[in-house]
Amino acid sequence: MYSQTIGSMTWQFDDLRSLMAKASPARSGDALAGIAAASDAERAAAQMALADVPLTQFLDEAVIPYETDEVTRLIIDTHDAQAFAPVRHLTVGGFRDWLLSESATGQVLAALAPGLTPEMAAAVSKLMRVQDLILVGRKLRVVTAFRGTLGLAGRMSTRLQPNHPTDDPAGIAASLLDGLLYGNGDAMFGINPASDSLPAIIELLKMLDGVIQRYEIPTQACVLTHVTSSIAAIERGAPLDLVFQSIAGTEAANASFGVSLKVLQEGYDAGLSLKRGTVGNNLMYFETGQGSALSANAHHGVDQQTCEARAYAVARHFNPFLVNTVVGFIGPEYLYNGKQIIRAGLEDHFCGKLLGVPMGCDICYTNHAEADQDDMDTLMTLLGTAGVNFIMGIPGSDDVMLNYQTTSFHDALYVRQVLGLRPAPEFEAWLAHTGILGQQGAEWRLGTRMPTAFAGALAHIR
């Protein structure tokens, strides 16, 4: 039992799982689950008690039992004791102070990542202010490569998301062209398909590959279908670059997605067999989101932010190219308003990077949440400052297929201009070669003319 006395009041917390839940910044999902702190005073007491917990306690006390959950077994069995040694003596509060110190350089933190468990990362994030999450997040660079190199300092990539409610090729092509002319797409071209039909998925893969090959674009494509469909598409000879799957932080939640660690390994091996990368072989694309385990009734009483961090342990096991927290997509039942969405996005980025995961963020909200585009502008700017690997690029920031609000092509242009960020180096060179980007002094700006290579494509779409 953990306890904390403040004045004449003593709060007691039954176990580490309960303590972590009560210490979480307020969010609607934990309240819905009945595990949140009952008051700000209880939350403060829990945070104070959590600050005194030794980091080694997370190796001795699992929030979900080892015997019943394969994600817990993965976390414990792959823990690197040697990497953990430099911080082994610290408490959670001491770990926070150390992370904020000049001793915790990017190189030091990269070496530490295999020695940290998701619960350690989640715990320390609960003690951090927004500025702390940004400061430490900015130190952390997780670099991956396929046809382009993502995560380098001074760069921010975008997923060009040309979704269409009927998977119409002309509509998808129009969105692709629009995004490319704003300098989007270096993270990937990624379509959420309207159909789960394998032939339809293969046709979309062929279309995206055709665009990449025709215009010699140094990027990668992905159709966000179930991993077993990707395996089947590979078996049929489809030109598949990245293997996608939504994942969560518990075995039961992953089972609700129809996956296990074994199935993910099969997808990873199938993707590697194609050898389609040119500058690297990171090829898994995972999406996560706070509240997914709770929505599947598979959270085991663990708070949603800790469950989310546990999903990053699953992701890092497969050397992903990209991991994307779709932060406000599930709805206000889990993240009620703009304040909660902003906090969650920064927590996810911090925890993912601390664990060695190449984090991006779909900065988004549903129309029934107490949030608006100003909140998304705030989170987008903060994440750009924190060094996020990539964000979304969607026409007009309105996804007409999934019916939610996210970030647009020109939003990414804004962040790059204001913060001096650039695309992936291979993609930047291609943009300059085609005339989409031009250099003005020390800065890269969008070109002032339509690239000759795209003139015919635009005419065909019209």
Residue 311: partners with Cβ closer than 8 Å, 6 or more residues away: 118, 247, 248, 249, 286, 288, 292
CB neighbour list of residue 157: distance below 8 Å, 6 or more residues apart: 148, 150, 186, 187, 360, 389, 390, 423, 424, 427
Q: Characterize 418-445 residue by residue with b for buried, 16 or more Cβ atoms within 10 angstroms of its Cβ, and e for exposed.
A: eeebbbbbbbbebbeebbbbeeeeeebe
The pair of structure tokens assigned to 24 is: 């979480």
305 is in an annotated binding site: no
- Flag whether 193 is marked binding: yes
- 114 phi/psi in degrees, rounded to 5: -65, -15
- 310 annotated to a ligand binding site: no
Closest CA to 135 of 144, 125, 143: 125
Two tokens, residue 250 = 């518990």
Cβ count near 298 (within 10 Å): 22
Residue 60, CB-side half-sphere exposure with 13 Å CA sphere: 7
> Residue 431: what are its φ and ψ, rounded to 5°?
-60, -40
Confirm or deny that 362 is annotated as ligand binding: yes
* Single-letter amino acid, residue 448: T
Count of residues for the chain?
462
Structure tokens belonging to residue 171: 């509509």
Q: Any residues with CB less than 8 A from the CB of 323 and at least 6 apart, and which?
A: 285, 286, 287, 288, 312, 315, 352, 357, 358, 359, 360
Two structure tokens written together for 285: 């694309």
Kindly tell me the burial class for residue 319, based on how many C-beta atoms sit within 10 Å of its own C-beta (0-12, 13-18, 19 or more): middle
Q: Residue 244: in which H helix or E strand, if any?
A: strand 243-246
C-alpha Rg value of the chain to the nearest Å: 22
What SS3 class is residue 444? strand
3 state SS of 350: helix
CA separation for the pair 270, 313 (Å, rounded): 21
Is 245 marked as binding a ligand?
A: yes
User: Known binder of ligand: residue 160?
Assistant: yes
Any idea which residue has 């933190």 for tokens?
109
192 appears as a binding residue in the annotation? yes
Q: Which amino acid is at 260?
A: S
**Residues annotated within a binding site for substrate:** 159-161, 192, 287, 362
**Residues annotated within a binding site for adenosylcob(III)alamin:** 193, 245, 295, 401
**Residues annotated within a binding site:** 159-161, 192-193, 245, 287, 295, 362, 401
